[in-house]
Structure 1
Amino acid sequence: MSIPESTGAPAAVASGQHHAGLRIIAIYEIVKTVCLVLVAMAAFHLDRQQNFEQLVHWLEHLSLADSNSLRWKLVGLLQDFGPSRFVAVGVVALGYAVLFGIEGIGLWRGKYWAEWFTVIATGSLIPLELYETLHRFGWLKLATLVGNVAIVVYLVRVALQTRAARHASKPHTS
């Protein structure tokens, strides 16, 4: 016995085909969320002058034979940055954590809106990532750019197939 198309079978098939890919992207988004929450916690912790000074002191006395210049650049950067700016870093990190968390949970639950939400949010950062990769090349920047382009292309394909399947499963009235 075959299932008529009007029962939603095409949507179920399309959903099943992309379930694993959506789960992988969801896990990636959740990992980014956790990392950003940790960054925010560290930033809020460094907002206190005493904690900030302890970090700078620790870095100044850290024994890193091969990366001495890197250590001093980091100490200088932190001193220029100052403890008061870490609140802004924490707030921005939490904002992005919320965004990535919404994407991850929506994709994990297979929500159609989450596919487009992730496409828009991830796609909006691609021009900046492209500029950064071309301006100051780094393999990690290139990998991030390529990964995000792949995610956007994949999710657009999934969302369009899901839309077509939903449209095909609705009864047509003339």
Structure 2
Amino acid sequence: MGEAAYNPDPQAHPGLHLIAVFEGAKGLLALATAAGLALLGPQPLRRWVEDLITRLHLDPQNGVLPRLLNAINPEAVHWAVIIALVYALMRLVEAWGLWRTRVWASWLGCIGSAAYLPLDLYALYHHHGWHTWTLLFVNLLVVAVLWRDIVKRRSN
């Protein structure tokens, strides 16, 4: 009484499983984030931002962190939990589809990863570190692998 036999698409790119694991890990991390936010609420976040302002000797009235501190409230945390859950669901569905070599998952992953490219380029323009180059390279590689998978399977 097992599940139907798993027959991967022989035309699928061999890198799909690696990308599936990566996307699944992102989905699980988003689930953990949503659970943490839902269980802890806004107070630990507020304390963390207050500590950061104090440690960095920042003006507690002006700047990005004080504005963030003012924005952290129960309603904002509820919205953050919902957004994290939706993101997690998308990543986990994509991971499942990529693992099962579904072409729709390659489309979903390609579009999702390509959407980050303008942000990667913006970050690269403002922050010239190795980490920024690495993120851009990984994102480009994921888009290329998924696009190649789509094109290869459409041509057959």
Which TM-score bucket, shorter chain as reference? 0.7 to 0.9
Shift of 1:36: 0.6
Deviations 1:11-48 (A, max 9, x none): 63x33xx23x1000000000000011111112222335
**In the alignment, does 2:87 pair up with 1:93?**
no
Q: State whether residues 56 and 78 of structure 1, in contact with CA within 8 Å, keep that contact through their aligned partners in structure 2.
A: no
How many residues of Structure 1 are paired with residues of Structure 2 in the alignment?
143
SS of residue in 1 equivalent to 2:123: helix
**In the alignment, does 2:35 pair up with 1:35?**
no
Counting only pairs closer than 5 Å after superposition, residues 1-174 of structure 1 correspond to structure 2 as: 12=10, 14-15=11-12, 18-19=13-14, 21-47=15-41, 52=43, 56=47, 60=51, 68-69=55-56, 76=66, 79-84=69-74, 85-165=76-156
Deviations 1:58-83 (A, max 9, x none): x74xxxxxxx328999x857633323
Superposition RMSD in Å: 3.2
Deviations 1:82-132 (A, max 9, x none): 232222221111111111111111000011111111111111221122223
TM-score by length of 1: 0.67
Q: Which has the larger radius of gyration?
A: 1
Separation in 1, partners of 2:26, 2:44: 28
Could you say which residue in structure 1 is the equivalent of 2:5?
none
Q: State whether residues 107 and 115 of structure 1, in contact with CA within 8 Å, keep that contact through their aligned partners in structure 2.
A: yes
TM-score by length of 2: 0.74
Separation in 2, partners of 1:164, 1:35: 36
SS of residue in 2 equivalent to 1:127: helix
